[in-house]
Amino acid sequence: MNPHLETDYIPAQGYSYGLELMAKKSTGSLNGWISYTFSRTFQKANGQFREEKINDGAYYPSIYDKPHDLSVVTNYNISRRWRFSGNFVFSSGRPITLPEQKYLYQGNQVVYYSDRNSYRMPPYHRMDVAITLDENLRRKRTWKGSWTFSVYNLYGRKNPYSVFYRKDASLQSMDKNKTQYSIYKLSIIGVPVPSLTYNFKF
C-alpha cells in the first residue's frame, strides 16, 4: 500500500560460508547417496539513523541460516519387478524473532521483542518410503506401467511450521494480576500420509 517502497527498505550487508559433502553409489542392487551441508549466513543493518539499525548494528543470523542439512536416499532392487526406496532429510530450524515481554506504557500496550533472530525453530526431519511393482518387463511391449505405494512422513513427525502464543488456563491461577501465555507449535502435516500411484509410459 506504500507508493514509496524505498522508504521501507533498510540497507544491509552480509556474508556466508559453508561446506558441502556427498557420497554416491550408483551401481548394484543397493544404491543411493548421502549429502551433508554445513552453512552459515549472517547479515547486519547499520544505517545512518537509529531507526535503520537492527541489533545495534551487529551481525545476526539471517532467515536462511540453517547450519546443518542432511539428506539420505536409498534404492534397493528386491527383484526384477519389485523396488524399494526411502529417503531421510534433516535440517536445522530457521532463526526467528519472538516477543519476550508485554507491558503498558501511558495506557498503551507495548510488546518487547528479542534481538533479531535470536531464537531458532526446532529442527526439521522426515522419512519417506515407497515400494514399486513393475507390471511387465518385456522389451517389445509398448505400454509399460508400474504401481507405487508410498508413505510420506513415515513416523508422523510434527515438524513446526510456525509458533504462536496462547493464554494458558493452568498458569492464570498462579498470579491473578498477570495474564500468562504459553508458546505452541503449528504443524501442517504431522501424520503419516499414504498414497498409491500408477505410472505408465508408451
Contacts of 187 (CB under 8 A, 6+ apart): 158, 159, 160, 161
**Res 7: pLDDT:** 76
pLDDT at 81 over 80: yes
Rounded alpha-carbon distances, angstroms, from residue 114 to 8, 96, 106, 166: 21, 9, 22, 18
What is the pLDDT, as a whole number, of residue 169? 64
Domain range holding 15? 5-200
pLDDT above 60 (res 165): yes
Segment 22-39 mean pLDDT:
96
Tell me the C-alpha to C-alpha distance, in Å, between residue 54 and each of 33, 44, 97, 113: 41, 7, 12, 12
Is the pLDDT at 178 greater than 70? The verdict is no
68-97 mean pLDDT: 95
Contact residues for 149 (Cβ-Cβ < 8 A; gap 6+): 130, 131, 132, 194, 195, 196, 197
- Which pLDDT does position 171 carry in this prediction? 54
**What 3-state DSSP class applies to 35?**
strand
Pair type for strands 144-152 and 193-201: antiparallel
Number of structural domains found in the chain? 1
State mean pLDDT over 51-77. Answer: 93
The reported pTM is: 0.81
Q: Is the pLDDT score of 44 beyond 90?
A: yes
Tell me the pLDDT band of 179, cut-offs 50, 70 and 90.
low
**Buried-exposed string 137-158: b where 16+ CB fall within 10 A, e elsewhere:** eeeeeeeeebebebbebbeebe
